[in-house]
Amino acid sequence: MRMNNIFFGWKNGLTNWFSEKTVFYSVLLFNILLLLTVRYYPSMDGPSHLYNANLITHLLKGDSDFISAYFALNKLPIPNWTSFVILSAFNSFLPAWIAEKLLLLFYFIGLSFSFRALVKQLCPENSGLSIIIFPFSYSFLFHLGFYNYSLSFIFLFISITYLVKFKDEYSLRKYLILLFTITLAYFSAILSFIFLGISLGLFEVAFSIRLYSIGLSFRETCKKLIGRLLLLLAVSLPSLIFSLIFITSTGFSAAHDRNAIGELVKWLNDVRCIIVYDYEGEAKLTAQFLHILIAIIAVSLYLRFSRKDDYSLLQKFRKSDVFIAPMFIALVCFFTIPNGAHAGMMSDRFCLLAYMFFIIWVVCQPLKGRIVSVLIALIVILHVGLMFKRQNGTIRSLDKDATCIGNTSKYIGENSIVLPVNMSENWIEPHFSNYLGVDKPMVILENYEASMGWFPVLWNTKRLPRIMLGQHESFEGLHWMSNTASPMIKQIDYVFLFGSTAKINDPNWVELRETLKQYYTLAFSSDNGYVLLYKLK
């Protein structure tokens, strides 16, 4: 009899290990392998991050007077440093494409493990459902290259997990770790930092209410709550100061363009925050994630409140229910704040934020084992299908373009001024020209980050020369950074055309075509005609 118990105990343990760990690690490995099948993982802003990380390395080392004459480091404590620190550190001794791989590995592994740790802390019996994070890690904003915003969720999950796990501890170690993770959240994305503060504060309130419900006096409960909130404020104070400096010193867009309410509702229904390349095609898969989440919450709420027991409504409150509040706040902001306000793409940011809090709340609800297994299988099937659709349909093609541009860099001399001309018809490629400068010092005149004010690299407007293309300072539809007041004149060394380069023969490009003919010579042309590189004679 005892041997049978041992056997069946071992068998059940193996089953639980397989259902919980093997599936999770298998899906994680699948994601990593897909990442390794391409040289560059293409995104809209990713090339700019790689290029500016390389500039940061040269500016910090002080090894290029040429670069420092055109660019300078932002002295403000901006909340956009995390990805650049990681990329610069790796790019200082590794090729840029490997540095990018390591950053993305850190993101995917860090996000999946931090989310899983939070789920295990709040509802360990549902840890298998933590695989829901994988489709949400490949968000629309991630593919736009919003790496810092994407990374911020790692520190948000870690901070909440740590606070919940050590809620009754008042050690210096606890608050130093929270200081560290909260500060990292700020230096990744100020929006996530704000919602992290809301979430941590709400958890402290929830812990205090629980103490009151088990017999602590109201006065003592308030005293404990105020003390905990003050400690939380103390560890958040450096980031709050940085936030104040950043907000008061940086100019943001005052745009009031907003999406229609019906369009925003459609976004929520289709889970727009994880649709990337093909809205209608991908929505057929992404909308199923919402159906799964709705099914989970419907079943779990029924299981929780249908039972006839002696527990009060307050006692049926679960720690994960705290996330209803930040989710609701994110949704209110989603419907009320214009998309073009502040740093732009606000509707997309709030949509992803609301869904992140939603999935935490949903997967931490009480469920039965068999239901969990079925849901895990459905999530895996949908995620794998979505990834193969993107990988085979778009990502490989974009990687081919990115690699072509990166290889063109060998025809450009160090410390050169390069003017990109974007003739691509692909919406995700406007900054692909920055792949030219990810591994050598050069000035690429298409550097939108240096013009914004909330990125680590800025144009050095005090030392910037007057930059000319032949006798021109600009063309119709083609402008570049230049200091027209400077007595120093610099000619553009290379003109880089990419995309449908046959457009150079169109009538609207006649001035550029004639200038290239007079002052430049063709230095390189790719076999597929995607790239044309002209060098100053």
Reported pTM? 0.92
Average pLDDT of 373-398? 90
- Cα–Cα distances in angstroms (integers) from residue 138 to residues 152, 163, 437, in the given order: 14, 27, 26
- C-alpha distance across the termini of the chain, in Å: 91
d(CA 332, CA 329): 5
Mean residue pLDDT across the chain? 90
d(CA 303, CA 312): 15
Pairing of strands 71-73, 253-254: unpaired
Quote the pLDDT of residue 154. Answer: 98
Q: Is residue 15 very low, low, confident or very high in pLDDT (cuts 50, 70, 90)? A: very low
3-state class (DSSP) for residue 225 = helix
According to DSSP, the residues that pair with 341 across neighbouring strands are: 254
Query: Is there a contact between 144 and 45 (Cβ–Cβ < 8 Å)?
Result: yes
E strands in 393-438: 417-423
d(CA 40, CA 46): 9
Give the list of residues 6+ apart from residue 152 with CB closer than 8 angstroms, or none: 82, 185, 188, 189, 191, 192, 193
Written as six digits, the tokens of 478 are 């083609």
Quote the pLDDT of residue 256. Answer: 65
- Cα–Cα distances in angstroms (integers) from residue 262 to residues 259, 270, 335, in the given order: 8, 12, 10
Quote the pLDDT of residue 210. Answer: 79
Give the list of residues 6+ apart from residue 359 with CB closer than 8 angstroms, or none: 132, 133, 136, 293
The H or E element that residue 459 is part of is strand 457-459
Written as six digits, the tokens of 35 are 């990442």
d(CA 434, CA 455): 16
**Dihedral sign of CA atoms 497, 502, 508, 511 in order:** positive
- Give me the phi and psi of 470, to 5 degrees please: 65, -120
Other Cβ atoms less than 10 A from the Cβ of 236: the count is: 23
d(CA 216, CA 233): 24
Query: Is there a contact between 417 and 443 (Cβ–Cβ < 8 Å)?
Result: yes
Q: Is residue 425 very low, low, confident or very high in pLDDT (cuts 50, 70, 90)? A: very high
Above 70 in pLDDT, residue 315?
no
Quote the pLDDT of residue 316. Answer: 59
Quote the pLDDT of residue 207. Answer: 86
Average pLDDT of 238-264? 86
Give the list of residues 6+ apart from residue 504 with CB closer than 8 angstroms, or none: 423, 497, 512, 513, 516, 532
Query: Tokens 């008061």 appear where?
Result: 248
Give the list of residues 6+ apart from residue 399 with CB closer than 8 angstroms, or none: 38, 39, 40, 41, 42
Quote the pLDDT of residue 221. Answer: 83
Quote the pLDDT of residue 9. Answer: 43
Is 238 exposed, middle or buried (CB count within 10 Å of its CB: 0-12, 13-18, 19+)? middle
Q: Shortest CA distance to 402 belongs to which of 38, 3, 19, 30? A: 38
pLDDT digits (tens, 9 = 90+) for 62-87: 888 899 999 999 999 999 999 999 99
pLDDT digits (tens, 9 = 90+) for 196-244: 999 999 999 988 887 777 777 888 888 889 999 999 999 999 999 999 9
